[in-house]
Structure 1
Amino acid sequence: MIRFYGTYEIKLDAKGRMALPSKYRSQFANDKLVITKGYETCLTIYPTDEFEKVFEEINALSEFVEEHRILKRSVIPNSAELEFDSSGRILIPKMLLSWASIDKDIKLLGVGNKIEVWNNQQLEPNVVPAQQVAAYTEKVMGPKKREG
């Protein structure tokens, strides 16, 4: 089972390569992964099997619904399959780095079945205050939700 969690601060090299922490890297079969645009201004890294699930859901959407077409155009063309090099690094496509405003100092967030890649300055505005997290937790995970 894929389980990414924790936060890591790392640096990209001048060519746009990064080395994933060994705790994360060990969860990629055949040293392959897929990177794509995230839902905020971040990038998302999936093991290929996990991305296949996302791809199948998005690909199954109707071409006759505008929101579906927009979602397909946002995710599928902006995804790339990558492999680790001999030093355990991945080369992130320049277009994705530019879109997420990522240059050198980044944070990796393990969020379950995927990893989010953030520019440090882009992450701060997306951090939710503790009170809001508590309210979301109560709403989503509260007793009524577990019973039904």
Structure 2
Amino acid sequence: MFLGQFEHSIDEKGRMVIPSRYRDLLELGGAYVTLGFDQNLMVMTASSFKEIAENTRKVSLTDEDARDLKRWIFSNAVWVEVDRIGRVLIPQHLREKARLNTAVVVVGAGDYFEIWAAELWNQRVKQIEDSEQAAKRFSSFDIRL
């Protein structure tokens, strides 16, 4: 499971070191990267991405929102390989869409992890940590021990 958050950087060629804890969880020496829903990137193992693909096959092709969701996920998806020193090359078009420059934050999200521009992550954390709003936003989720 991808947990925690790590401050990293992207070099001038678009390469970023994957946290070592995360590298150990990746399969086949790489991962799928696609555009997230919050101006970030989502990074998934091959099996998680395959599960997403299978789930999207279950939606109707006549549903415009379903078609757009498939376009969003798959037109932005790329397979990246981890090199011998633990880096991946993030394509320029994805770096631009997620506003990734030098400073990034790698955030665990359970079955996948996210890559955020540091300033966008800091803004998002403020929203998430607003306890009054969080209680309202998360009350409909059925999370129990």
Task: Using structure 2 for the length normalisation, give the TM-score.
Answer: 0.90
Aligned equivalents of 1:118 and 1:59: distance in 2?
28
Structure 2, unmatched stretches of 5+, are none
Aligned equivalents of 1:14 and 1:59: distance in 2?
38
- Write out aligned runs for 1:1-148 (5 A): 3-127=1-125, 128=128, 129-141=130-142
Q: Secondary structure at the match of 1:106?
A: strand
User: 1:67-95 CA deviation, whole Å, 9 max, x = no partner?
Assistant: 11111111111100111112211000110
User: 1:44-86 CA deviation, whole Å, 9 max, x = no partner?
Assistant: 0001111110111123322211111111111111100111112
Aligned equivalents of 2:33 and 2:71: distance in 1?
15
Q: Secondary structure at the match of 2:4?
A: strand
1:138 Cα deviation after fit:
4.1
Identity %: 29
Q: Secondary structure at the match of 1:4?
A: coil
Aligned equivalents of 1:19 and 1:114: distance in 2?
16
Q: Secondary structure at the match of 1:125?
A: helix
Aligned equivalents of 1:123 and 1:16: distance in 2?
19
1:141 Cα deviation after fit:
3.7
Aligned equivalents of 1:67 and 1:135: distance in 2?
27
Task: Using structure 1 for the length normalisation, give the TM-score.
Answer: 0.88
4+ residue runs over 6 A deviation: none
Q: Secondary structure at the match of 1:51?
A: helix
1:59/1:141 CA distance change after superposition, 3 Å? closer
Aligned equivalents of 2:62 and 2:123: distance in 1?
35
Structure 1, unmatched stretches of 5+, are none
Residues 4 and 115, structure 1, Cα contact 8 Å, conserved in 2? yes
The residue type paired with residue 35 of structure 1 is: V
Residues 59 and 72, structure 1, Cα contact 8 Å, conserved in 2? no
